[in-house]
Amino acid sequence: MDGEIASCPGFWGSVSCVDLQLRGPTACVDEVIDLVLAATQRCGSTMILEDMRNAHVFGVPEEYFIPWYKSEKIVHIERELNSIVRKSKGANGFSSVKIMADQLQCIERKLIESSAINATQFLPNVAELFKNSKWIYVKRNDTLRQAISRHMSTETKVNHATQNKDDNHFAGNLLQGYSSSYNRDARYDFQKIKRHCQNIVLENIVWSNFFSVNSIHPLILSYEDLCAQGNCDYLNLISRHVGIDFAVEKDSFPRRRMVKLSNNKNDEWYFQFLADIVKMNK
């Protein structure tokens, strides 16, 4: 769902740290989820998931908490969590999931329902649920480019694309067989892109403070750095971070089926937005 914008009611405006207090032990899961990827929409996290899946040692990472946006559908919390553990586990028993910043409160709200005592922290039930997990924080340095990507995805209803029409892929809202004309009818909107910029900043504030308050030390990966690197060697950093014996073999590592969606229209919107900011401040 990297790019498909959803939200948990009240995520930005009406919820304080007090609203997210811990009221008891978090719902129990039979096994630990070994790795959590912390992300924001359109930060490049799906590319990382594909590489991790291709390695066959990092489990089956996916955005398993999407149904939690509609929290009324999540009734049996422990059953749901144990199902996520099973689905996210690979042949070697390692499991991994991806969580978007705007899913955190949705998860916290459901975990609070099974709690009974008080404490003052920030998203403590989420932290408790993943207290034995390793974390990766995927960031995109260029907030404006990320915001444009979000707006483009809402305009086109396309979040990801494969190089060839016969390429299968796990990603949602998928264009099989990329064409540079896919976004021909997409419409520029300064206010919407500006709003996406604001949301991205807020979402990264949520992640950075979640980590600092709960003494979590994630491996930080930058989308721009990975693109400049041009290979999958960063998976060696992940393997060391999580304690798995793995090294990328460049000659035999599977190719990515996903390709970049960004094209000339993204560049046009980028410079148009910068020009509009200058006009706005005159």
Domain ranges within the chain, ordered by starting residue = 35-142+193-255
- Tokens for 122, please give them: 């920030």
Amino acid letter, residue 281: N
94 has a pLDDT exceeding 60: yes
For 193-215, write each residue's pLDDT tens digit.
Answer: 999 999 999 999 999 999 999 99
Interval 14-46: pLDDT, tens: 333 333 333 344 566 778 999 999 999 999 999
| pLDDT tens-digit series, residues 230-242 | 899 999 999 999 9
Residues 6+ apart with CB under 8 A from 267: none
For 191, counting Cβ atoms within 10 Å of its Cβ (0-12 exposed, 13-18 middle, 19+ buried), the class is: exposed
How confident is the model over 220-230, as pLDDT tens digits? 999 999 999 98
Dihedral angle computed from the Cα positions of residues 175, 176, 180 and 184, in that order, rounded to the nearest 10 degrees: -40
Q: What is the DSSP letter of 66?
A: G
Task: For residue range 102-120, list pLDDT tens digits in order.
Answer: 999 999 988 887 654 345 6
How many Å apart are CA 248 and CA 26, to the nearest integer? 37
Q: What is the pTM of this model?
A: 0.87
Query: Are the beta carbons of 17 and 121 closer than 8 angstroms?
Result: yes
Residue 161 has pLDDT above 80, yes or no: yes
Alpha-carbon distance 155 to 253, whole Å? Answer: 34
Q: Strand, coil or helix: what is 59?
A: coil
Instruction: Map residue 220 onto helix, strand or coil.
Output: strand
**What residue type is 52 in one-letter code?**
M
Interatomic CA distance for residues 248 and 125, integer angstroms: 35
Provide φ and ψ at 37, rounded to 5°.
Answer: -95, 120
Distance CA 147, CA 199 (A): 9
Instruction: Classify domain 35-142+193-255 at the CATH topology level.
Output: Rossmann fold (3.40.50)
Residues 34 and 96 sit within 8 Å (Cβ to Cβ)? yes
Range scoring the smallest mean pLDDT among 10-14, 127-131, 248-252, 254-258:
10-14
